[in-house]
Amino acid sequence: MSSFDPVPGNKAFAKSQAVKTTPLRPHRQAAAIAALVMVVAVIIGALYLAQATTTATTGAQLQELQSTRDYLQRANEDTSAQIAADRNISVLRGRAQALGFVPVTADKLQYLVVAGYSPYRATPTPVVTPEIVYVYDETFGGWVQQQWNTLTRQFEAWSGRSQPTPTPIP
């Protein structure tokens, strides 16, 4: 018997004993790795499914909101058209006559001088501010610029310095 033979007390003996006592260890390790991969895959799948479901639900809600918006826009147009039809000059004339109004003649009109009054006030012309067109050139610098611009506008809107404007589509 050499000193390298596995005998109780030396290292070789301990190693041989460990292999003998856990003969399925390599299989368990493989199974564990496989299980881990499966668990990770299931988690990723679940996350993906959850995300896809949320997106689909949101999409459906968005479409419903778009549908509602379209309906309201149409209803507004219908109402505007109805108001315009009700204010048709023939309708107004008939209504005025029914109420006993008669056409006025020039000699029955009286004009007054109102100091400083101008009947032809200048129509305020809206100030047209040149639109800032951000061009996203698909570079990192461009992306940083776009984020910064968005952040700046949001801050200005939050601080009340200007109205928020939608981010232009690149």
Residues that bind other proteins (CB under 8 A): 52-53, 55-56, 58-60, 62-63, 66-67, 70-71, 73-75, 77-78, 80-81, 84-85, 87-90, 103-107, 109-111, 113, 115, 118-123, 125-126, 128, 138
Q: Which CB atom, from 15 or from 93, has the smaller least distance to other proteins?
A: 93
Q: How far apart are CA 33 and CA 35, in angstroms?
A: 5
Cβ contacts of 31-40, under 8 Å, gap ≥ 24: none
Q: Which CB atom, from 24 or from 106, has the smaller least distance to other proteins?
A: 106
Q: How far apart are CA 162 and CA 156, in angstroms?
A: 6
Q: Which CB atom, from 29 or from 53, has the smaller least distance to other proteins?
A: 53
Give me 58's structure tokens: 């949101």
Q: Least CB distance from residue 157 to other proteins, whole Å?
A: 17
In sign, the C-alpha dihedral spanning 7, 8, 11, 12 is positive
Q: Least CB distance from residue 76 to other proteins, whole Å?
A: 10
